[in-house]
Structure 1
Amino acid sequence: MELEVIAGSLPEILCDSIIIHVSEGAMIPGGTTGAVDKALSGHISEIIRDMPECGKYGETTVIHTFGAIGAKHVILLGLGKQSELTLDKARALIAVGMRAARKLRAKTVVTTVPDTGVAEDCQTAQAVVEGAIMGLYRFKHYKTGKEDSPAIEKLVIAIQDGTKIDEYNEAMRLGKIIAESVNYARDLVNHPAQYMTPAKMAWHAAEIAQKYGLELSVLDKEDMEKQGMGALLAVAQGSVAAPKLIALKYAGAPAKPEVIAYVGKGITFDSGGISLKPSQNMDEMKGDMAGGGAVLGAMLAIAQIKPKINILAVVPCTENMPSGTAYRPGDIITSMSGKTIEVLNTDAEGRLILADAITYAQKLGATKLIDIATLTGACVVGLGSFYSGVITNNREWLAAVTTAAWQTGEKMWELPNDEAYLEQIKSSIADLKNSGGRPGGAITAGLFIGQFAGETPWVHVDIAGTSDTDKNKGYNLKGGTGAGVRTLIQLAANLGRL
Structure 2
Amino acid sequence: MEFNVKSGQPEKQRTACVVVGVYEPRRLSDVAQKIDEVSQGHLSSILRRGDLEGKIGQTLLLHNVPNMLADRVLLVGCGRERELGDSQYRKIIAHAIRTLHDTGSMETVCYLTELNVRGRDTSWRVRHAIETAHASLYTFDQLKSKKNPTRRPLRKIVFSVASRRELPAAEKASREAQAVATGVALAKDLGNLPGNICTPTYLADRAKTLCSLHEKLTCKILTELQIEKQGMNALLAVSRGSDQAPRLIIMEYKGGKKGADPIVLIGKGVTFDTGGISLKPAEKMDEMKFDMCGAASVLGTLSAVAELQLPLNVIGIVPAVENMPSGKATKPGDIVTTLSGQTVEILNTDAEGRLILCDSLTYAERYKPEIVIDIATLTGACVVALGSHAHGLLSNHNPLTNDLLNAGRMSGDRAWELPLWDEYQEQLDSPFADMANIGGKPAGTITAACFLSRFARKYHWAHLDIAGTGYIAQTKEKGSTGRPVPLLTQYLINRSSIGQSEELTPIDQMPPEPVPPEPELDDLPPETEDD
* TM tier relative to shorter chain: over 0.9
Aligned to 1:187: 189
Aligned equivalents of 1:216, 1:89: Cα separation in 2:
40
Contact (CA 8 Å) 2:17, 2:74: kept in 1 or not?
Answer: yes
Aligned to 1:210: 212
Are positions 1:307 and 2:310 aligned together?
A: yes
Are positions 1:447 and 2:463 aligned together?
A: no
* 1:140/1:71 CA distance change after superposition, 3 Å: farther
- Alpha-carbon shift at residue 53 of structure 1 (Å): 6.3
- Alpha-carbon shift at residue 35 of structure 1 (Å): 2.2
Aligned equivalents of 1:98, 1:447: Cα separation in 2:
43
Aligned to 1:25: 25
Aligned to 2:397: 394
Aligned equivalents of 1:304, 1:92: Cα separation in 2:
27
Aligned to 1:485: 485
**Residues 214-293 of structure 1 aligned to structure 2 (within 5 Å):** 214-255=217-258, 257-293=260-296
**Deviates further, 152-161 or 349-358:** 152-161
Secondary structure of 2:454's partner?
helix
Are positions 1:423 and 2:426 aligned together?
A: yes
TM-score, normalised via structure 1 length:
0.94
Secondary structure of 1:93's partner?
helix
One-letter code aligned to 1:122? S
- Alpha-carbon shift at residue 117 of structure 1 (Å): 3.9
- Alpha-carbon shift at residue 136 of structure 1 (Å): 1.0
- Alpha-carbon shift at residue 127 of structure 1 (Å): 1.5
Which whole-Å deviations, capped at 9, do the CAs of 1:4-55 have from their partners, x for residues lacking one? 233332133232232211222363x243211222344434223434448632
One-letter code aligned to 2:119? V
| Match of residue 322, structure 1, among 307, 325, 336 | 325
Aligned equivalents of 1:416, 1:155: Cα separation in 2:
44
**Deviates further, 233-242 or 251-260:** 251-260
Are positions 1:111 and 2:110 aligned together?
A: yes
Which whole-Å deviations, capped at 9, do the CAs of 1:441-468 have from their partners, x for residues lacking one? 1111111111110142111110100111
**Deviates further, 464-473 or 337-346:** 464-473
One-letter code aligned to 2:316? A
Contact (CA 8 Å) 2:11, 2:38: kept in 1 or not?
Answer: yes
Aligned equivalents of 1:439, 1:154: Cα separation in 2:
51
Secondary structure of 2:89's partner?
helix
TM-score, normalised via structure 2 length:
0.89
Aligned equivalents of 1:84, 1:52: Cα separation in 2:
22
Aligned equivalents of 1:5, 1:364: Cα separation in 2:
41
Aligned to 1:336: 339
Contact (CA 8 Å) 1:91, 1:130: kept in 2 or not?
Answer: no
Secondary structure of 1:199's partner?
helix
- Alpha-carbon shift at residue 401 of structure 1 (Å): 1.3
* 1:373/1:98 CA distance change after superposition, 3 Å: same
Aligned to 1:130: 131
**Deviates further, 48-57 or 175-184:** 48-57
Which whole-Å deviations, capped at 9, do the CAs of 1:287-346 have from their partners, x for residues lacking one? 100011011100000011122222111111011111111111111111111111101111
Are positions 1:347 and 2:350 aligned together?
A: yes
Count of matched residue positions in the alignment of Structure 1 and Structure 2: 494
Secondary structure of 1:289's partner?
helix
**Deviates further, 357-366 or 335-344:** 357-366
Aligned equivalents of 1:30, 1:431: Cα separation in 2:
64
- Alpha-carbon shift at residue 71 of structure 1 (Å): 3.1
Consecutive unaligned residues in structure 1, runs of 5 or more: none
Aligned to 1:9: 9
* 1:472/1:5 CA distance change after superposition, 3 Å: farther
Q: Percent identity?
A: 38
Are positions 1:71 and 2:63 aligned together?
A: no
Contact (CA 8 Å) 1:17, 1:75: kept in 2 or not?
Answer: yes
Secondary structure of 1:71's partner?
coil
Aligned equivalents of 1:188, 1:41: Cα separation in 2:
52
Extract structure 1 runs of 4+ deviating beyond 4 A.
470-473
Contact (CA 8 Å) 1:249, 1:313: kept in 2 or not?
Answer: yes
- Alpha-carbon shift at residue 83 of structure 1 (Å): 2.3
Contact (CA 8 Å) 1:54, 1:76: kept in 2 or not?
Answer: no
Aligned equivalents of 2:380, 2:52: Cα separation in 1:
39
